[in-house]
Amino acid sequence: MIQRRCAPGLLAPVFALAVLFAGVADAQRDDKKPSVSLKASPTIGFSPLKVRLTVEVRGGADDDADFYCPAIEWDFDDDLTSESYEDCEPHEPGKSSIRRYYSTEHVFREYGTGSTYTVRFRMKQGDRVVANASTNVTVRAGLRDDLD
């Protein structure tokens, strides 16, 4: 059996470097802007189709000023849109927290030629879009639809 020993003074500098690099990686992750992803459930179905839309804000700092208290716009691509604004306290770095999830439900009542709708989500600060995402929803003719 072979036993190996480390020099007593070697472990402390190696540990210090590991902690330093971990801190740098965390700082780099927080310096990146958050990103958004949009999911629909279900993505395909028969009219009238009730769809739940969910947005997740990933990455970035929890106090990112651009993502704090934004205006939210949903465009359902069926001539209907939705906008919402919140009344929030002024942003304070290190204290204010961004929301990580947004959701809504929408009923697609009509099918048509193409029958695929592109749902768009926009997050805005004033007139400036800070994040956006889109997904497709396909609506097929339901039992009550007139199939002339």
Query: What is the strand order of the sheet 44-46 is part of?
Result: 44-46, 128-140, 116-125, 71-75, 81-84
Q: What is the 3-state secondary structure (H, E, C) of 30-68?
A: HHCCCEEEEEEECCEEECCEEEEEEEEEECCCCCCHHHC
Residue range 34-82, pLDDT digits in tens: 999 999 999 999 999 999 999 999 999 999 999 999 999 999 999 999 9
Q: Which long-range contacts (CB under 8 A, 24 or more apart) does 3-7 make?
A: none
CB 40 within 8 A of CB 53: yes
Residue range 87-133, pLDDT digits in tens: 999 999 999 999 999 999 999 988 766 689 999 999 999 999 999 99
Residue range 2-27, pLDDT digits in tens: 555 545 554 444 444 444 445 444 44
Q: Is the pTM of this model over 0.95?
A: no
- With cut-offs at 50, 70 and 90, classify the pLDDT of residue 142: confident
pLDDT for the residue 132: 98
DSSP label at 2? -
List of domains in the chain: 33-140 (2.60.40.10)
pLDDT for the residue 29: 46
